[in-house]
Chain A
Amino acid sequence: MQRNPQLNERGELQHLLSIEGLPAAVLLQILDTAKSFMSVSERDIKKVPLLRGKSVFNLFFEPSTRTRTTFEIAAKRLSADVLNLNIATSSQTKGESLIDTVANLAAMHADMFVVRHASSGAPYLIARHLSPEIHVVNAGDGRHAHPTQALLDVFTIRHYKGDFTGLKVAIVGDVLHSRVARSEIHALTTLGVPEVRVVGPRTLMPAQVEKLGVKVFHDMVAGLRDVDVVMMLRLQNERMNGALLPSAQEYFKAYGLTEERLAVAAKDAIVMHPGPMNRGVEIDSAVADGGQSVILPQVTFGIAVRMAVMAILAGNG
């Protein structure tokens, strides 16, 4: 059996590339560690010395504000030195040039790479070509995975709901193009959420998505009925131009999260969104800013979760 490329020979996390294939124990280790990092951000001196003298390279081949910033803050709160590289790329990034870029950065004695790339699998390629003491964190690759987003989402659920057993969770929107949705599904099922639903139009649902262990709904109200957690996905504007969707207004009519629709969920249901939000497209402002929204706490939790991931990786040598 081939070893999971994310784990070392002792079964410890070496890279964080995808939630898929990680045992629940590893996910819980990250969540528990993140919880203890929460207090660091609440102190006057928001820094601990765990990564002092280490260099973290934020390698973003795709634009991002929130994810890059929270990784940067997380690394700095661990006392690492952070370099941000926003590498504008043509759509045709050759494997060759990617490896060359990374090899050059590794020669500058990087200890960790945080990678976002438009191509699925790019972080795997990078991890494979680095010496084993350099760690790679996937900050979003193509349509494939966004593991730290899924981890901060399950951290948020655990924070508000206590535990995962007995929950009904709906993931709503453009599941087809969403690396966030894929990682969320793996995280939720691995942690034992008994009912994970995906809700959205047929054109934005991957073929055979049921095989991931989810229930598929094409009707918004049916999909939201009695759920404890609503996880909204961002509708990328570029999807509007193709044949997949008629218009933003039409989409909002059928799948926008309004107060009226949210009312069919459990009374204490929480509403999540990975950002950036399209108000009036996938979510109504009244819900986004409403009492059930935990969208801003998600951002705060994201720092602690990313601190936990980086500290665990660095501690595993």
Chain B
Amino acid sequence: MPAPDAEALLATLAAAMQGQVGRDTALIGIHSGGVWVAERLHERLGLPTPIGTIDVAFYRDDFESRGLKVDVRPSAMPFEVEGRDVVLVDDVLYTGRTTRAALNVLFDYGRPARVRLATLVDRGGRELPIAPDFVGGSLEVSADDIVVVERTPAGRLSLTITRSDGAA
């Protein structure tokens, strides 16, 4: 199975969100890929509230085994989180642990009215009771496969699947 076209997934995701998000909705991208997806969605959906960003490095549950990565980018919330309608945006939804960590970061900024989850691709394999509200597409991959979203300098998104048997 070839990797799906990330731009097509983005169009599907934006269509799913159309009408479900409004002027007061804030998109919050999870670094790095989620921020790229959030930026594109923000533009496509024409939302007036600026996007927020979250880096979950300080909230990961595998910190003790993996240590701290160096290039932690600051989380930024250019809006009041208290009482806000929020959509968390990630690129690849997998175990759900990143989403859990992102929720913890978010709640250290305030108590949002509602939090929904949007992801460009859902690769299954959940280890926590977390489900997306908006999905660009689903992938059937095995646990050892690596799914990566990248961004070209021109801002286009691409999706790569590296199979555990070495095939691309």
Contact = CB atoms under 8 A, between A and B. Distances in A.
Interface of A: 12, 29, 32-33, 36, 38-40, 43-45, 47-50, 311-312, 314-317
A48 B58 contact: yes
A48 B109 CA distance: 11
A33 B74 CA distance: 10
Interface stretch (B61-69, B86-94, B154-162): B61-69
B58 A43 contact: no
Interface of B: 55, 57-59, 63-68, 70-76, 104, 108-110
A43 B73 CA distance: 15
A12 B67 contact: yes
A32 B64 CA distance: 20
Secondary structure class of chain B's binding surface, majority of residues? loop
Nearest to B60: A50
A107 to B, nearest CB: 22
B64 to A, nearest CB: 7
Contact of A317 (B57, B67, B108): B67
A40 B109 contact: no
A49 B64 contact: no
Nearest to B77: A43
B67 A316 contact: yes
B70 A50 contact: no
B120 to A, nearest CB: 25
B2 to A, nearest CB: 37
A33 B58 contact: no
A43 B109 contact: yes
B70 A29 contact: yes
B52 to A, nearest CB: 12
Contacts of B57: 36
B59 A49 contact: yes
A47 B59 CA distance: 10
Contacts of A32: 70-71
Nearest to B110: A44
Interface pairs A-B: 6 shortest CB-CB:
A315-B67, A39-B74, A36-B72, A48-B58, A315-B68, A45-B108
Contacts of A314: 63-64
18 contacts: A32-B71, A33-B68, A33-B72, A36-B55, A36-B57, A36-B72, A36-B73, A38-B74, A43-B108, A44-B110, A45-B108, A49-B58, A50-B63, A312-B68, A314-B64, A315-B63, A317-B64, A317-B67
